[in-house]
Structure 1
């Protein structure tokens, strides 16, 4: 993982639970340690439970594939939320994505966020040699919790998906902190995740 200190952290919370959310608690600990280590670090928080991203629709797709200088006011309005979410990533050097696993994958709100920030010509581009991510020189830390799904197993469709999507838009420095299979040995798993946070923050 890149050893340069964080200067601007973007934190994405994907849990629909506020009270008792393991990912929120772990992300609190992680961002708290990162900021404490570098007091000048700024933190932007995007809570997907407060204002979930809307799903893309036909009008959004039409606006996205219309050249910038040919877009109508309505098309620019349709892309405004996407533009704002992308700007948050562009201004950050570290992303902290805190997500539970719902039914073996990411929550719907996080998938909607991904759909809004993965845009050809903005966060990635196509070349004759394949797609190239445009959000380079950033790192991401995924804080994951699950009740029964083991991180990295054949039924974990959340963390490999996020790692792939982040790499697709240019963020290849990705660390995963997993508090997985909390349905058995929760105390041990939480202790291991907390220790991982301490090692990473150090």
Structure 2
């Protein structure tokens, strides 16, 4: 059975345009993979603790020396990484908040970036260990994609690539606060999704 891991981060719930784009993708994907399994990780509905000195201390403490509290901290990342390793395909959806991604998604990224599990250091630099495909779905209130103020999709794609994920395509719906131009951008993104799946 093929498994798709869906990672959502918008605080807008069902009104989220990035989620709606992912919905369209998943619907098409399931139509082609009727036996497929979709696992959802919603970091807005179930936010992760921020990465702190306690988190770092737990990770760098040898396993046999960890306290009960440290074991619980490490277990958070273990569960997230297990999901990534078990999936065949990854989708990440994110709105643009203040020129970047939601802090909930950043926390997720902090927990799954672990040397020896999702990447490794080599003589030629870091190497990602998650060799599978991913798709990215983004939305923003104005049209900032591919401008110096866009720290959303470029950051997501860079991070996923760092983990070894191959971002097949990024679907963007800009202008969502601008009325008709935003509606047109959203419809165009949905058409691109239909053609890509």
TM-score scaled by length of structure 1: 0.91
For structure 1, list consecutive stretches of 5 or more residues without a partner in the other structure: 1-5
Maintained 8 Å contact 1:149/1:155: no
For structure 2, list consecutive stretches of 5 or more residues without a partner in the other structure: none
The whole-number CA distance in structure 2 between the counterparts of 1:19 and 1:195 is: 20
| Farther off after superposition, 171-180 or 100-109 | 171-180
Q: CA RMSD in A?
A: 1.5
Aligned twin of 1:164: 158
Regions of 4+ moved over 4 Å: none
| Farther off after superposition, 76-85 or 99-108 | 76-85
Please give the residue correspondences for 1:83-98 in structure 2 after superposition, counting only pairs within 5 Å: 83-98=78-93
Give the Å deviation of 1:174: 3.5
| Farther off after superposition, 179-188 or 26-35 | 179-188
Give the Å deviation of 1:154: 1.4
Give the Å deviation of 1:69: 4.4
Give the Å deviation of 1:167: 0.9
Aligned twin of 1:3: none
Aligned twin of 2:73: 78
Higher helix share: 2
Aligned twin of 2:194: 198
Maintained 8 Å contact 1:104/1:149: no
TM-score scaled by length of structure 2: 0.93
**Paired positions, count:** 195
